[in-house]
Amino acid sequence: MAIVDITASKDAESKLKQIEIQYQLSLTENKIQLREAFRCMKNNLQVISSLLRMQAEMLQDGAAASALKECNFRVLSMSLIHERLHVNGMTSKVDVAELAKVLTAELFKSF
Protein backbone atom coordinates (compact mmCIF):
# COMPACT_ATOMS: atom_id res chain seq x y z
CA MET A 1 0.00 0.00 0.00
CA ALA A 2 1.43 3.36 -1.14
CA ILE A 3 0.65 6.70 0.41
CA VAL A 4 0.78 9.73 -1.88
CA ASP A 5 0.85 13.29 -0.62
CA ILE A 6 -1.66 15.30 -2.69
CA THR A 7 -1.35 18.50 -0.67
CA ALA A 8 0.50 20.33 -3.45
CA SER A 9 -2.08 19.26 -6.00
CA LYS A 10 -4.97 20.40 -3.80
CA ASP A 11 -3.20 23.71 -3.10
CA ALA A 12 -2.73 24.31 -6.83
CA GLU A 13 -6.38 23.45 -7.47
CA SER A 14 -7.47 25.86 -4.74
CA LYS A 15 -5.29 28.66 -6.13
CA LEU A 16 -6.69 28.03 -9.60
CA LYS A 17 -10.25 28.34 -8.29
CA GLN A 18 -9.34 31.60 -6.54
CA ILE A 19 -7.84 32.97 -9.76
CA GLU A 20 -10.98 31.99 -11.69
CA ILE A 21 -13.22 33.69 -9.10
CA GLN A 22 -11.08 36.86 -9.25
CA TYR A 23 -11.23 36.78 -13.05
CA GLN A 24 -15.03 36.49 -13.01
CA LEU A 25 -15.31 39.35 -10.51
CA SER A 26 -13.00 41.50 -12.62
CA LEU A 27 -14.98 40.70 -15.75
CA THR A 28 -18.24 41.63 -14.03
CA GLU A 29 -16.73 44.86 -12.76
CA ASN A 30 -15.46 45.73 -16.24
CA LYS A 31 -18.92 45.12 -17.73
CA ILE A 32 -20.47 47.42 -15.13
CA GLN A 33 -17.88 50.12 -15.83
CA LEU A 34 -18.45 49.79 -19.57
CA ARG A 35 -22.22 50.18 -19.15
CA GLU A 36 -21.66 53.23 -16.94
CA ALA A 37 -19.27 54.76 -19.48
CA PHE A 38 -21.83 54.14 -22.23
CA ARG A 39 -24.56 55.79 -20.18
CA CYS A 40 -22.38 58.82 -19.43
CA MET A 41 -21.38 59.17 -23.08
CA LYS A 42 -24.99 58.89 -24.20
CA ASN A 43 -26.08 61.54 -21.69
CA ASN A 44 -23.25 63.88 -22.68
CA LEU A 45 -24.05 63.55 -26.39
CA GLN A 46 -27.73 64.21 -25.65
CA VAL A 47 -26.88 67.37 -23.70
CA ILE A 48 -24.61 68.61 -26.49
CA SER A 49 -27.29 67.90 -29.08
CA SER A 50 -29.95 69.71 -27.08
CA LEU A 51 -27.72 72.74 -26.53
CA LEU A 52 -26.87 72.95 -30.24
CA ARG A 53 -30.55 72.65 -31.20
CA MET A 54 -31.65 75.31 -28.73
CA GLN A 55 -28.90 77.68 -29.80
CA ALA A 56 -29.74 77.17 -33.48
CA GLU A 57 -33.40 78.00 -32.77
CA MET A 58 -32.42 81.24 -31.06
CA LEU A 59 -30.22 82.55 -33.86
CA GLN A 60 -31.48 85.04 -36.41
CA ASP A 61 -28.54 84.46 -38.74
CA GLY A 62 -29.54 81.64 -41.09
CA ALA A 63 -25.96 80.64 -41.92
CA ALA A 64 -24.98 80.34 -38.27
CA ALA A 65 -28.16 78.41 -37.46
CA SER A 66 -27.47 76.09 -40.38
CA ALA A 67 -23.90 75.51 -39.14
CA LEU A 68 -25.21 74.60 -35.68
CA LYS A 69 -27.76 72.23 -37.21
CA GLU A 70 -24.97 70.52 -39.14
CA CYS A 71 -22.94 70.21 -35.94
CA ASN A 72 -25.98 68.77 -34.22
CA PHE A 73 -26.38 66.20 -36.98
CA ARG A 74 -22.75 65.18 -36.50
CA VAL A 75 -23.32 64.76 -32.77
CA LEU A 76 -26.45 62.70 -33.45
CA SER A 77 -24.47 60.58 -35.92
CA MET A 78 -21.78 59.93 -33.32
CA SER A 79 -24.48 59.04 -30.82
CA LEU A 80 -26.08 56.60 -33.24
CA ILE A 81 -22.75 54.92 -34.03
CA HIS A 82 -21.95 54.74 -30.33
CA GLU A 83 -25.36 53.15 -29.66
CA ARG A 84 -24.88 50.58 -32.45
CA LEU A 85 -21.49 49.64 -31.04
CA HIS A 86 -23.02 49.18 -27.61
CA VAL A 87 -25.94 47.12 -28.96
CA ASN A 88 -23.50 44.89 -30.84
CA GLY A 89 -21.41 44.34 -27.73
CA MET A 90 -18.66 46.79 -28.69
CA THR A 91 -17.50 44.44 -31.43
CA SER A 92 -16.01 45.53 -34.70
CA LYS A 93 -19.02 44.11 -36.53
CA VAL A 94 -21.40 46.93 -37.39
CA ASP A 95 -23.89 46.65 -40.22
CA VAL A 96 -22.72 49.62 -42.28
CA ALA A 97 -25.66 49.38 -44.70
CA GLU A 98 -28.16 49.58 -41.84
CA LEU A 99 -26.20 52.39 -40.22
CA ALA A 100 -26.19 54.35 -43.50
CA LYS A 101 -29.97 53.91 -43.83
CA VAL A 102 -30.60 55.15 -40.31
CA LEU A 103 -28.19 58.09 -40.70
CA THR A 104 -29.83 59.04 -43.99
CA ALA A 105 -33.28 58.90 -42.40
CA GLU A 106 -32.06 61.09 -39.54
CA LEU A 107 -30.54 63.52 -42.00
CA PHE A 108 -33.84 63.87 -43.87
CA LYS A 109 -35.72 64.32 -40.58
CA SER A 110 -33.40 67.05 -39.39
CA PHE A 111 -33.68 69.02 -42.64
DSSP state of 1: -
pLDDT in tens, 3-41: 888 888 888 999 999 999 999 999 999 989 988 988 899
| Domain layout of the chain by residue ranges | 46-111
The model's pTM: 0.66
Which pLDDT tens digit goes with each residue over 74-83? 898 888 888 8
Return d(Cα 22, Cα 79) in angstroms, integer.
34
